[in-house]
Structure 1
Amino acid sequence: MDFFNRKKGFTLVELLITIALVAVISALAVPSFQTLIKKSRTSVEAQRVLTTLYYARMEAIKRNSLVSLCPSSDGLACNPDLSWMDGWIVFSDRGKRGELDHDMDRVIRVGDPAQNGYLLYTTKHHKWFGYQSDGNSVGSSGSGNTSFIICSPDGGIEGRRVVVSITGRPRVATGIGDRVCDGG
């Protein structure tokens, strides 16, 4: 009968060993999770740019006119002195100059600034970028392939490159093999 009246539980030694094991495993896992979170945030920023480019291209084809993007912090006007990481606007560009003319053009989407200090720039340093009515891309630095580069604030992980072909198709480059945020 003494068998059924025994107290059940852990001894102090068992509890201390378990806590020590959890601490060691956590210490090893936390840096991996931080890297995973940074990579995930970089991918989210790249997808945000990609979605905006797809949207602008679709609108250009649908409207049968030029649709442009430009850096903007207020969502009301283009500012060529700003960086793309400060935010942007997508607008119908009837003047076909890459400049928002409130008499003719209409803002159709506003892009928020890059989150958590992420960097965003183009390889050709475009002050505006757009899509023609046939879906082909054009920018302030002329036509041709261009890339939007997304880098984490610390530059410690690989960035993402959103490549836009001359035909206007945007895509996130995979297997690029270089560290685009180290000037590559």
Structure 2
Amino acid sequence: MKNSYMARGFSLLELIIVLSIVAIIATYAAPSFDMLLKKSRQRSALSELISLINLARNTAIQEQVPVTLCPLTTSHKCGSDWSRPLTAFRDPGFKKQTSNQGQILRVVQFNSYGHLIGKTGIRNYFRFRPSGLAEEAIGNIVWCPEDNDNRYASQIRINMGGRPFVSKDTDGDGVPEDTYGQNLECTQ
């Protein structure tokens, strides 16, 4: 009868060995998990940014009205602070500002896990004409992760045709290149 009531479980030595093995595995898995998380955040930000650009361009074509994409100031004008929410809005008078909520197509905030750097030349906006072209307002937007690790940065170029193109790592060094073939930098 004594054998049927015997306690079953792990000995202290077995428990220590199992916990040691789990700790060793976790030590090696943590950097991989961090990389996976950064890649996921990068893909999410890129997807949202490309979606916003395509919405702006497609709306300009479908509604035959100019559409502007920029960070708005508190006075609803295009500003140069790319840490503010990015807004796509109908801009029939080319004023680079909104006067009512009906003009706004979508507003997106990107700085929860990273930040944007807008490189629009002398302008602080992108504009899509009713033809879909972005003739006078071309440039690029760089998304950088919160820790500014260039390996997880991305650049979206908007060409004169109004189409977005994502930067790639063409030289195999782990960092995507910008428009000029230089490694992306996450400093402003």
Partner of 2:185: 181
Gapped runs of 5+ residues in structure 1? none
Aligned partners of 2:98 and 2:104 also within 8 Å: no
Partner of 2:129: 132
Partner of 2:90: 92
Partner of 1:40: 40
Gapped runs of 5+ residues in structure 2? 171-175, 178-182
AA of the residue aligned to 1:166: M
TM-score by length of 1: 0.80
- Map of 1:111-126 to 2, 5 A cutoff? 111-116=108-113, 118-125=114-121, 126=123
Counting aligned pairs with the same residue, the percent is: 24
Partner of 1:171: 165
Q: For 2:186 and 2:21, how far apart are their aligned partners in 1?
A: 38
Q: For 1:35 and 1:113, how far apart are their aligned partners in 2?
A: 19
Q: Secondary structure at 1:171's aligned position in 2? A: strand
Q: For 1:19 and 1:34, how far apart are their aligned partners in 2?
A: 22
Partner of 1:78: 77
Q: For 1:173 and 1:12, how far apart are their aligned partners in 2?
A: 54
AA of the residue aligned to 1:90: A
Question: How far apart are 1:79 and its partner, in Å?
Answer: 3.9
Aligned partners of 1:45 and 1:114 also within 8 Å: no
Q: For 1:37 and 1:157, how far apart are their aligned partners in 2?
A: 15
The one-character-per-residue Cα deviations of 1:79-132 (angstroms, maximum 9, x if unpaired) are 42x4222112211111124x12528x822222225213x221223344111111
Q: 1:63 to 1:165 in 2, by over 3 A?
A: same
User: Does 2:52 align with 1:52?
Assistant: yes
Q: 1:7 to 1:113 in 2, by over 3 A?
A: closer
Question: How far apart are 1:61 and its partner, in Å?
Answer: 0.4
Question: Size of the alignment, in residue pairs?
Answer: 174
